Structure 1
Amino acid sequence: MNDFDYDLFDDVDDMNPVYDDLYMPGANLWYDDDDVEEGVKVGELLELCIEPTVRDGFSHVGKLLLWCFLFRASTQLVEVPALLRHAVSAGTGLLVLHHFFRATMYYIIGFAVVSYIILFSISCFLHKYRGPVMGFVSITFLIISELFLPSKVEWHKIRGAQMLIAMKVISVAFDTDFGALQCLPSPAEFAGYLFCVGTCVFGPWVSYRDYIAIYTKPLWDMKWLRKILLNILLAFAFLTLSTCWVQWLIPDGSWRWWMAYRDSFSFRSSHYFVSFLSEASAIVSGFGHNRDEPWSMSVTKPQFIEIPRSLVQVVVYWNIPMHCWLKNYVFRTAKPLGSFAAILSTYAVSSLLHGLNFQLAAVLLSLGAYTYVEYVLRLKLATVFGACIQVRPCKKDCSHRNKEKRLYVILANVGFGIISMLHLSYLGVMFDMSSKIQEEGYNYTHTLAKWSYLSYASHWVALGTYIFYLLI
């Protein structure tokens, strides 16, 4: 299987928007309109935005990390019965879910209970196809919840947590089909895995085997503590970038593409905040020590997204655990139907897991088209010129005669990287935290209005790139 087959797919997380319609002012949450002309000094920015943002953020994050530590200390410092440690995992997770979602958490619990009952029932009759069946059940449940939940605002709040439960349920079903699990987990094990405090709110997705491994020879060392502190520091640095710094550095009234980059970067920074926070909570809970390099778990890698070599690289490093989940449980399952069907199925499942959302579907489908065009074009150019200009860096022993360090190869890769940055700015333009409709999810008019303001430039560039590929 080639690099394109494996690395094309990823989800687009719940985007935290930073836009009002058509770039109208509305993101300047930390000063009044009367102050715009005078500008805001760094001291005022610190007092009015950065300090309260960090304080309010840590008031919630601190409780999550504390419960993660209490869970680990009570289950991994000393040997405890298996039933007790799974009960503590589920219990602390439910407490955290209640803190973030209040009464709405009962929809999450209901989904988990129904999923286990169905999975247990079909296991009595089927010894394969449990994965596809639970995939269909989970996605159907998510769609029905979105359509019939009384409040769209409440659904929008729990959508991410529901998606995590769905991914865990589906992965258990597939692992049982594949033989990676000898039998279904018991109800206590299943609850401990689904509601594990370190992964139930912000993620990341972890496999059932990774969950069980945290109780086996748990590792406590200074590297564990340093990794946690580094992730927390990075999370809050990106939180302040998203909320305060970018709007201050690139004010309203700038060139529209500068504002597009500003707001797209602001949204990406909010994703990095959640990603590093999820990584910190998982590591506090004990995840990551069973790898070849202890505490090496990664959720995202901003350096490969902000300075991209290609869009394929972006979608791989945007959410690494989600990429692995899609590759293992969706793409490989659909691969016998052909590469195109597997690609289409992967993007369709990713879209449906996020709900019936035109905005996310539009982004995912656009990414699918962009990455495909980029892949085939760069592969053809690499073959014609014998140059290392494919979507992923070549190995040292590749057959290309023009290696990565050749000047025109560097310029070509930089050029494709700039095009990728344009696409990222364009695709991120509609995610709008300041818009009133953000709490209920965006509709198609919002998305098309944002892209129309930029003259659909990114789509035209992709089309031109594809025509160029056909001509050479």
Structure 2
Amino acid sequence: MNDFDYDMFEDAEELSPMYDESYSSANLWYDDEESEEVVSVGELWEMCVEPTMRDGLVHVGKLLIWCFLFRASTQLVQVPPMVCHAVSAGSGLLILHHFFKFTTVYIIGFIVVAYIILSLTSYLLKKYRGPIMGTICIVFLVVCELFFVKKTEWHKIRGAQMLVAMKIISVAFDADIGTLQTLPSPIEFSGYLLCVGTCVFGPWIPYRDYIAIYNKPVWNFQWVWRIISSIVLSMLFLTISTCWIQWLIPDESWRWWVAYRDALSFRSSHYFISFLSEASAITSGFGHHDTSYWTLTVARPQYIEVPRSLVQVVVFWNMPMHQWLKTYIFRTTKSFGSFAAILSTYAVSSLLHGLNFQLAAVLLSLGAYTYTEYVLRQKLASVFRACIQVRPCRKDCSHRSKDKQFLVILANVGFGILAMFHLSYLGVMFDVSSKLQDEGYNYMHTISKWSTLNYASHWVALFTYVFYLLV
């Protein structure tokens, strides 16, 4: 099971301060007195799509302008490294204040406390810095959520706080394993954590990649094209999430269609954030390879909406975050056994999101689902000598039945449909039109959503595991 990868579901709305009930309401294009009358495409465009895109572009534009100014001021000409880091931290603070106002002080306090503790542990121990900083970061996030910040305010900034925590933990682990020979100075540390291209919407970027953007920066047409294409895709998925999907599948539809609609709406909001984070990071200079190609990719919707397996979904849901979890959590805990590593990975990802029963329930369910799917398909692939594992086989694999054979295609399609079923069930409670999203979804909301579907996905997962034991 060395190649079993893990990721986490990220609550996309909590990273986006531009979500507003007036845009996400499913009844936006209905008249209160004539709720039965469905509007035309033109009216939908005028009442929902156009204002949603306008509001989104206003926020996106401000972010991208600051990302470009940061890159132009630090990568067009030779600038002293300390100046680069200072500009990175300063522009990051400005954009954080734009989105989060006074609550930015909690992010600054988090960074200051973390650097002091990391410096002390480096001086006293010079090892175990990764586990120590991981524990401290999680405790800090939980304490702030419980005692210091209002729920509505914390729900807006916890995505940015989670990104800061991931960067701090990665620096601590890199120092332990020798990837970093010395700790970054305070200004380097601040520049990395507050970099304007990644501090609001992500993605997580390793410290070495942050340092690399100042080394032989690439300016070419492909850089511009990647930014434009990412923005277009981001706006497309924003309108799908807030406008199109509710229009295509009304509330009166079959309950499983409504479940699929709500889950797709949530996934589309995640794709919006993913492509937006891609655009901001690339605008800041991240992601170039050699002298021409820009390889930074955050999510791949095509592998999520038409999946081969749930394992494939969690890998491509947020690829930088997947790499973070795999490198710093899964591999660190792998010595305790595969199942313990799985639970640790999903538990850490859940705690980083805060005290949220909804996310914890989804993540732990997803952990059980992906483990069950992986071991079952491994066993079936061994018994039938067929390419039906969670990932496509290599061309030179030892299986007798290859991917292009009809029965193998049929089996893989069947597992893909099963994955889509689980995704609809798990994502149904992420209702972007609910007023609860301002404070986070509670225990009763999650249970009520799953109960309307008779806990079908959990029963199917249990049956799948029993079947695996019997094979």
Normalised TM-score (structure 1): 0.96
Aligned residue for 1:197, secondary structure, equals coil
Structure 1 residue 35: Cα displacement: 4.0
Match of 2:455 in 1: 456
CA deviation string 1:295-314 (max 9, x = no partner): 11100000000000000000
Q: Specify every segment of 5 or more residues in structure 2 that has no aligned partner in the other structure, as ranges.
A: 15-23
Q: Where do residues 125-204 of structure 1 align in structure 2 (5 Å cutoff)?
A: 125-204=124-203
1:28 matches 2:32: no
CA deviation string 1:343-392 (max 9, x = no partner): 11111111100001110010011101111111111111111111110100
Pick closer, same or farther for the CA change 1:291–1:426 going to 2, 3 Å.
farther
Higher relative CO (Cα under 8 Å, sequence separation at least 6) belongs to: 1
Match of 1:267 in 2: 266
Report if the CA contact (8 A) 1:426-1:458 is conserved. Answer: yes
Match of 1:401 in 2: 400
Report if the CA contact (8 A) 1:239-1:273 is conserved. Answer: yes
Aligned residue for 2:294, secondary structure, equals coil
Structure 1 residue 271: Cα displacement: 0.1
Structure 1 residue 205: Cα displacement: 0.2
Report if the CA contact (8 A) 2:163-2:204 is conserved. Answer: yes
Aligned residue for 1:239, secondary structure, equals helix
The AA in structure 2 aligned to 1:381 is L
Match of 1:331 in 2: 330
1:301 matches 2:293: no
Match of 1:2 in 2: 2
Match of 2:9 in 1: 12
> d(CA) in 1 for partners of 2:171 and 2:160?
17
Structure 1 residue 293: Cα displacement: 6.9
Structure 1 residue 405: Cα displacement: 0.7
Dislocated runs of 4+, deviation >6 Å: none
Identify the range of structure 1 (299-308 vs 371-380) with the bigger mean alpha-carbon deviation.
Answer: 371-380
Structure 1 residue 437: Cα displacement: 2.0
Pick closer, same or farther for the CA change 1:254–1:263 going to 2, 3 Å.
same
CA deviation string 1:166-215 (max 9, x = no partner): 00000001101111111000111001000000000000000110000000
The AA in structure 2 aligned to 1:221 is N
Identify the range of structure 1 (116-125 vs 201-210) with the bigger mean alpha-carbon deviation.
Answer: 116-125
Q: Where do residues 23-422 of structure 1 align in structure 2 (5 Å cutoff)?
A: 27-290=26-289, 294-422=293-421
Identify the range of structure 1 (32-41 vs 270-279) with the bigger mean alpha-carbon deviation.
Answer: 32-41
Report if the CA contact (8 A) 1:213-1:290 is conserved. Answer: no
Report if the CA contact (8 A) 2:127-2:176 is conserved. Answer: yes
Report if the CA contact (8 A) 2:388-2:411 is conserved. Answer: yes
Structure 1 residue 291: Cα displacement: 5.9
Root-mean-square deviation (Å) = 1.3
Structure 1 residue 428: Cα displacement: 0.3
Report if the CA contact (8 A) 1:16-1:431 is conserved. Answer: no
Percent of residue pairs identical: 72
The AA in structure 2 aligned to 1:3 is D
Structure 1 residue 26: Cα displacement: 5.4
Aligned residue for 1:34, secondary structure, equals coil
Match of 1:20 in 2: none
Q: Specify every segment of 5 or more residues in structure 1 that has no aligned partner in the other structure, as ranges.
A: 18-24
Pick closer, same or farther for the CA change 1:113–1:290 going to 2, 3 Å.
farther
> d(CA) in 1 for partners of 2:307 and 2:149?
42
Aligned residue for 1:124, secondary structure, equals helix
The AA in structure 2 aligned to 1:320 is M
Report if the CA contact (8 A) 2:30-2:37 is conserved. Answer: no
Match of 1:21 in 2: none
Structure 1 residue 150: Cα displacement: 3.9
> d(CA) in 2 for partners of 1:293 and 1:36?
53
> d(CA) in 1 for partners of 2:13 and 2:186?
35
Structure 1 residue 15: Cα displacement: 4.3
The AA in structure 1 aligned to 2:147 is F
The AA in structure 2 aligned to 1:13 is E
Pick closer, same or farther for the CA change 1:75–1:26 going to 2, 3 Å.
closer
Normalised TM-score (structure 2): 0.96
> d(CA) in 2 for partners of 1:11 and 1:376?
19
Aligned residue for 2:299, secondary structure, equals coil
> d(CA) in 1 for partners of 2:246 and 2:431?
13
Report if the CA contact (8 A) 1:307-1:417 is conserved. Answer: yes
Identify the range of structure 1 (326-335 vs 157-166) with the bigger mean alpha-carbon deviation.
Answer: 326-335
The aligned length equals 462
Aligned residue for 1:16, secondary structure, equals helix
> d(CA) in 1 for partners of 2:305 and 2:290?
27
CA deviation string 1:267-297 (max 9, x = no partner): 0000000000000000000001146972111
Aligned residue for 2:391, secondary structure, equals coil
The AA in structure 1 aligned to 2:330 is F
